[in-house]
Structure 1
Amino acid sequence: MSVYLFFEKKLPFREKKRKVVRWIQYVIEKEGKKSKRINIITTGDREIIKLNKKFLGRSYRTDVISFPMNGGIEIEGEIYISLDTVTENAIQWGVTTREEWRRVVIHGILHLIGYLDNNRDEQRIMKEKEDYYLERFPE
C-alpha cells in the first residue's frame, strides 16, 4: 500500500502524515479495496482551476478533484485539494479547516474507490461515509 501526501500549500494546522496515511489505509480496507499508489496533493485555487478546466472542461474552482487511474480491487489515482476553497468552506460551515481538509481527503478517496456524487442519493451516501470515517480518525 502506497499513500503519499504532498503539500504545495502548507496546512495552517499540524497534521501527522503517518496518522493520515494509516487512516486512509483503514478506509480503503474497510471498503474492501487495496491501494496500489495514491497521491494526495494539497494545492491552491489557481492549480485546481487549471486542472478543472483541462480535464473536466469546467472553468471554476472546487475543493477536491479525484483522478482514478484504475478500477477493481486495487485502487490507484491522484487527489488534488484546494486549501483555499477548503478554508473558505470551513468558515462557511462552521468547522475547523482541519476537519474540512480531512473531509475532502475522504471524499477524494471515496471517488477513487468508485463512489459518485452526481445526484442526491449518491451525495447522501458519500456524506454518510465521510461522517462515519471522520469519526474514526485516530486522535
Structure 2
Amino acid sequence: MITYNSLSIALPNIDQTTVTEWIGRVAESHQRVVGDINYVFCNDEEILDVNRRYLQHDYYTDIITFDYGRGNVLSGDLYISLDTVRSNAELFGKPYDEELHRVLVHGVLHLVGINDKGPGERELMEAAEDAALALRTVE
C-alpha cells in the first residue's frame, strides 16, 4: 500500500491512484512487489532536519529514502522536499511535474537496490529512472 502524507505543506497535485499504479508497474519491472511505501512531502528545512537527525548529513536534498523492505517486497519511508524538487526543475530546465515524478520513482529505485553515490552508479540510476518514467501513463 502506498500512502501520501505531508509535514507542514500541501500535498503536491498528483493523481495518487495513477502514481500508485505506476509505482506498481515499476516494482514489477524489477521483479518486486509493493509493500508499505510512505511518501512524506516536506519543505527544505524539514528535509534538512531529517538529514541531520537520522543520517548526520548537513545538507539539503530532494529525497531521503529509508528502506524497510524484505526479500522482494518494497517498503520504506520516502521524504521528498518539494522546495528542492522545484529548484532542481528550474536548474535543469525541466517542468516541475516531470522532476517530481523523477524524484517519486528515484526513491522506489533505491528500495529496489539501485544506488547513485559510487563510481558509475549515477548513470545506472539515471537509466533506471528513464526506463521507469517510460512506464508512466500521463495523468
- Place the TM-score, normalised by the shorter chain, in its bin: over 0.9
Structure 2 unaligned residues grouped into runs of 5+: none
- How many residue pairs get aligned? The number is 137
Structure 2 counterparts to residues 13-92 of structure 1, below 5 A? 14-92=13-91
Conserved? CA contact 1:71–1:114, under 8 Å: no
% identity of equivalent residues: 34
The ranges of structure 1 where at least 4 consecutive aligned residues each deviate by more than 4 angstroms after the TM superposition are none
Q: Per-residue displacement from partner, 1:32-60 (whole Å, max 9, x unpaired)?
A: 01121000111111110011011111111
Using the TM superposition, give the Cα deviation of residue 11 of structure 1 relative to its aligned residue in structure 2, in angstroms. 5.2
Q: Per-residue displacement from partner, 1:52-110 (whole Å, max 9, x unpaired)?
A: 01111111110000000133211211100000000000000001111111001111001
| TM norm structure 1 | 0.92
What RMSD, in angstroms, separates the aligned Cα atoms of the two structures? 1.3
- Opposite residue 41 of structure 2, the aligned amino acid is T
Alignment of 1:3 onto 2:25: no
The CA distance in 2 between the partners of 1:51 and 1:120, in whole Å, is 26
Conserved? CA contact 1:11–1:83, under 8 Å: no
Structure 1 unaligned residues grouped into runs of 5+: none
Which residue of structure 2 lines up, in the alignment, with residue 126 of structure 1?
Answer: 125
Conserved? CA contact 2:5–2:11, under 8 Å: no
The SS at the match of 2:68 is: strand
The SS at the match of 2:60 is: coil
- Opposite residue 44 of structure 1, the aligned amino acid is N
- Opposite residue 126 of structure 2, the aligned amino acid is K
- Opposite residue 95 of structure 1, the aligned amino acid is K
| TM norm structure 2 | 0.92
The CA distance in 2 between the partners of 1:105 and 1:57, in whole Å, is 23
Conserved? CA contact 2:89–2:96, under 8 Å: yes
The CA distance in 1 between the partners of 2:116 and 2:6, in whole Å, is 26
Using the TM superposition, give the Cα deviation of residue 15 of structure 1 relative to its aligned residue in structure 2, in angstroms. 1.7
